[in-house]
Amino acid sequence: MRLGLFQGCVGCLAVIFVGLLNRVMLTELGFPGLLVGGALAFEQLVAPARILFGQLSDAYPLAGRHRTPYIWIGTALFCSLAVLVVPLIFHLHRALQAGSLWEIVLGAAALCGLSACYGLAVSLATTPYLALVIDSTSEAERPRAVGLIWCLLTVGIVAGAIASSICLKSLDGVSDPAVLAPALTSFMARLALVVVVLTVIATWGIEPAQAQAPLSRAADREDAITLSAAWRLITSSRQVLVFFCFLMAFTLAVFLQDPILESYGGEVFGLPIAATASLSAIWGMGTLAGLLLAGFWLVPKLGKFACARLGCQLILASLVLLALVGFTGQPEALKLVLAGFGLATGIGTNATLVLMLDLTLPQVAGTFVGVWGLAQAYSRAAGKVLGGGLLDLARSLTPGSEAFPPYAAVFLLEAAIAVLALVLLTGVNLRQFRDDTARSLDRVLAVELG
């Protein structure tokens, strides 16, 4: 539970860094969606840096510890960067208002760079953290520990959304950058301080001194996979490729709306900043309920394939409803749909994770989990870019000044991706996967050793 506090902090900061700042940039400051999504996608694009940081913490202990110092340094860095991004956003807004091309280019480049550095800092903290979880648990304890930690990630997302809703209540109806900038900077600074303190509490005394520390190696963990090795593994079997594509489609179907959801609440439903921040809390609570429902009842009762299919079907229905609810303009109806979307996401995610673990050869578990992790990381990056870019495209193609049609177009396209995920899932065969990968095991092991 104590170790899981850190994962909760990561979720809390993530929902604010992505959700709240997206809302402010898109709605209050009028940034182009492609700029917002493209800049924030750099956080996920640096995911392969986990390899370096995992190996760094293995090989170079600091103050007699392999994990804890890296976690603390990474946390201090990503918290500092989260605070710095707020004044940078408002500086870029002033450049856009002034129409200064050179300043706009420099500001956009700085925003992309800062987002990439934020992603690197998160990797620096989270990779040794996950290694610490492995180091600190036995084989029997690990599944329960990992399950609890991922639940606390969702709890952190909910807590971050609720904190935003409460602390930013005074900004309801405010769109003046001169008022927004200091208020958001102050809020982010206070949150960053809380995250640093909780991270120290979560990890203090967990890791034994170097001489007594049982140390996992990068080759046994998901940080061992390189892009070239991942590609060789993906193409080693048709089943691996099909499941990889399914994972990407599933992740896109869940997260394509992520960069525009709070702006949807603001522009179509007239919700203020504090109220749109609570939308993530509603989605997160639904997700947590779905994870628990699937883990304790649906997957054991229906089976992992049937449950994954049900999750995709419910996500599809939720996305169609998310588009249709805009016709009503009723915030309560939007919240109800988002709660259902969260429930569907939780059910689908739990079943997909179970399926993913079944489709992981024990001989090369670290490599397979790394490939699945990269699939999800790059899908989330693509979701951020496409979410904002497609909104811009839909706005340019939609006549009139109505806010609703462009958002509806993005949600319906996301629903089409959910249909694709369903189609790909029908092509996944557990027995054939194991047969195919067993026949090409020498090739897979070569990837692992390479």
Beta strand ranges found along 135-276 (DSSP E): none
Q: Mean per-residue pLDDT for 98-102?
A: 87
22 Cβ contact partners less than 8 Å away, ≥ 6 residues apart: 36, 40, 258, 259, 260, 262, 263
Q: Mean per-residue pLDDT for 113-122?
A: 94
- 2 pLDDT more than 60: yes
pLDDT given for residue 223 in this prediction = 56
Give first-to-last CA distance, the chain, whole Å: 36
Banded model confidence at residue 173, pLDDT cuts 50, 70, 90: confident
171, 274 contact by CB (below 8 A): yes
- 430 pLDDT more than 60: yes
pLDDT given for residue 448 in this prediction = 44
For the chain, count helices (H), then strands (E): 19, 0
More confident residue, 401 or 196: 196
- 14 pLDDT more than 60: yes
33 Cβ contact partners less than 8 Å away, ≥ 6 residues apart: 26, 259, 260, 387, 388, 389, 390, 391, 392, 395
Q: Mean per-residue pLDDT for 87-105?
A: 91
- 413 pLDDT more than 90: yes
pLDDT given for residue 450 in this prediction = 45
How far does CA 99 lie from the centroid of its chain?
Answer: 33
Percent of the chain with pLDDT over 90: 38
pLDDT given for residue 48 in this prediction = 79
Spatial separation of the C-alpha atoms in residues 99 and 152, rounded to whole Å:
44
Token pair of 194, please? 């809380």
Please state the length of the chain. 450
Spatial separation of the C-alpha atoms in residues 184 and 1, rounded to whole Å:
30
Which range is least confidently modeled, 55-59, 155-159, 411-415? 55-59
Q: Mean per-residue pLDDT for 28-40?
A: 87
Task: Residue 345: name the closest of 431, 261, 274, 409 by CA.
Answer: 261
CA torsion through residues 97, 100, 104, 106, sign:
negative
- 306 pLDDT more than 70: yes
Banded model confidence at residue 434, pLDDT cuts 50, 70, 90: low
3-state secondary structure of 65: strand
What's the predicted TM-score (pTM) here?
Answer: 0.81
- 219 pLDDT more than 70: no
Q: Mean per-residue pLDDT for 104-114?
A: 93
Which helix (H) or strand (E) segment holds residue 6: the answer is: helix 4-15
Exposure string for 348-375, b = 16+ CB within 10 A, e = fewer? bbbbbbbbbeebbbeebbbbbbbbbbbb
Which range is least confidently modeled, 42-56, 191-205, 334-348, 386-400? 42-56
More confident residue, 238 or 103: 103
249, 421 contact by CB (below 8 A): yes
**DSSP character string of 174-191:** ---HHHHHHHHHHHHHHH
Task: Please give the mean pLDDT across all residues of the chain.
Answer: 84
Which range is least confidently modeled, 216-225, 345-354, 369-378, 387-396? 216-225
More confident residue, 229 or 309: 309
* Domains of the chain and CATH, by start: 1-224 (1.20.1250), 225-450 (1.20.1250.20)
Spatial separation of the C-alpha atoms in residues 238 and 234, rounded to whole Å:
8
- 143 pLDDT more than 70: no
Count other Cβ atoms within 10 Å, centred on residue 48. Answer: 17
More confident residue, 108 or 357: 108
- Taking only the tens place, the pLDDT of each residue in 203-215 is 998 887 654 556 6
More confident residue, 308 or 213: 308
**Most confident region among 106-115, 132-141, 299-308 by mean pLDDT:** 106-115
pLDDT given for residue 95 in this prediction = 92
- 443 pLDDT more than 60: no
* Residue carrying the six token digits 């046994």: 220
Spatial separation of the C-alpha atoms in residues 180 and 163, rounded to whole Å:
17
pLDDT given for residue 354 in this prediction = 79
Q: Mean per-residue pLDDT for 265-274?
A: 90
Q: Mean per-residue pLDDT for 339-362?
A: 83
How far does CA 279 lie from the centroid of its chain?
Answer: 16
Spatial separation of the C-alpha atoms in residues 409 and 372, rounded to whole Å:
29
Banded model confidence at residue 217, pLDDT cuts 50, 70, 90: low
CA torsion through residues 168, 170, 174, 180, sign:
negative
pLDDT given for residue 125 in this prediction = 92
Instruction: Return phi, psi of residue 315, to 5°.
Output: -65, -45
What is the four-CA torsion angle of 375, 379, 381, 382, rounded to 10 degrees?
140
116, 49 contact by CB (below 8 A): no
37, 380 contact by CB (below 8 A): no
448, 369 contact by CB (below 8 A): no
3-state secondary structure of 137: coil
Spatial separation of the C-alpha atoms in residues 220 and 216, rounded to whole Å:
7
